[in-house]
Structure 1
Amino acid sequence: MILNHLWGIYRSPKQEWQNIDKQKESYFYALSHILVVSIIPAGMAYYASAYLGWDIGAGVTAETIKLTHASAMSMAVAMYAGLIFGVCALAALIYEMAKAFDAKTSFTQSLDIAAYTATPLFMAGFSAFYPELWFIMMGVLAGLTYSVYLLYTGVPIMLHIPEEKGFIFSSSVVTCGLVLMVILMAASVILWSYGLGPQHM
């Protein structure tokens, strides 16, 4: 069942990583998990931008800004595609880096690590129900913190390497993940400069 590990990674992450490792799920199972979970931040971004609006400023000068439905939808679709690409790219990096650490793994296991590690960060998309920048940043920070924790917890279990080696490996993955994030942000800025930016109501 899709998302059947969702509760486990919050309740008892180490045990859940062991379950994921034992079950040897298929490539399409891990991919389907990503496809479903990525809907949350993309869908919430659309809803918040088109219906709730974003408050810019403070006090009496605050102004609520909304995007047109077409613009919000196109940005949500682009975000959805970007998130999926980012997770798959991270999985490819994990797979290639595992070779340098003498860890025997498959691309499917690497995709499992990337998919379940990214889940808390994607779940933070629910914070857009209250579209205040400070609140969303707190939600994203909490999701990112737990995602990093899941990575450090899961890598030694999934790759069957000592925890000391897993710590170094995970630190390398975090660095690569930050680089990927910067690349996606830079790509967004470039697309906006070509007239593909948001259109306000």
Structure 2
Amino acid sequence: MILNHLLGLYTHPKQEWHAIEKNHESLKSSLSHVLVIALIPTICSYIATAHIGWNPGAGDPIFLTSQSALFMSIGMYFGLIGGVLALAYLAYWMAKTFDAHPTFTQALELAAYTATPLFMVGLAALYPVLWFIMVIGLVGLAYSVYLLYAGVPIIMNIPEEKGFIYASSVVTAGLVLLVGLMATSVILWSLGFGPMYQ
């Protein structure tokens, strides 16, 4: 069921990881979770950039045209989904190094539920003040990293000592993916796909 572990990951994460491990979802269900939860930052960012306006801290709010905001939001949506799928593949690929033998669905569950707090940070875009979004983003990032470290030993069925190193490797891979997404954005912007301001 879509989003069925969301509340548990916030209230009692370790017990919820055990519940996820005990009742693995289908690949379709895990993908559905990613597709739905990725809508939160996408829709909120569209509303903020096209209708509320971004406040960088000084001067008037900055608005994008509706068409540009829509284009950016769609790109963001597919980038977020691609990032989660890539992280799941990397976690699956690295598992053999740590004597873990998960299915791709287990790796996708790990990536999807770990990314959930970061996607929920998208709600902060509805108050588009730069410092506020940065603070909320750091909190979301910290909680996502915590979920990853808590979930790897449970989902991948490996000892906690190996789980710590495995999770650290996944965090590093995630940072590389983030830099790759940012570099892709810069390249696309330089090719003329950048935002159009009102």
Q: What TM-score, normalized by structure 1, do the two folds share?
A: 0.97
Distance 1:183 1:2 in 2: 29
**Large movers: runs of 4+ above 4 Å:** none
Distance 1:22 1:97 in 2: 22
Superposition pairs for residues 1-201 of structure 1, below 5 Å?
Answer: 1-58=1-58, 62-201=59-198
**Is the CA contact 2:57–2:130 (under 8 Å) kept in the aligned structure 1?**
no
Distance 2:170 2:23 in 1: 24
Q: What TM-score, normalized by structure 2, do the two folds share?
A: 0.99
Aligned residue identity for 1:44: C
Structure 1 pair 57/119, CA: closer, same or farther in 2 (3 Å)?
closer
Aligned residue identity for 2:3: L
Gaps of 5+ in 1: none
| CA offsets 1:35-56 (integer angstroms, 9 cap, x no match) | 0000001111100000000123
SS in 2 for 1:3: coil
Distance 2:54 2:13 in 1: 35
SS in 1 for 2:55: strand
**Is the CA contact 2:45–2:122 (under 8 Å) kept in the aligned structure 1?**
yes
Gaps of 5+ in 2: none
Quick one: percent identity of the two aligned structures? 62
Task: State the shift of 1:57 in Å.
Answer: 4.5
Number of residue pairs aligned between Structure 1 and Structure 2: 198
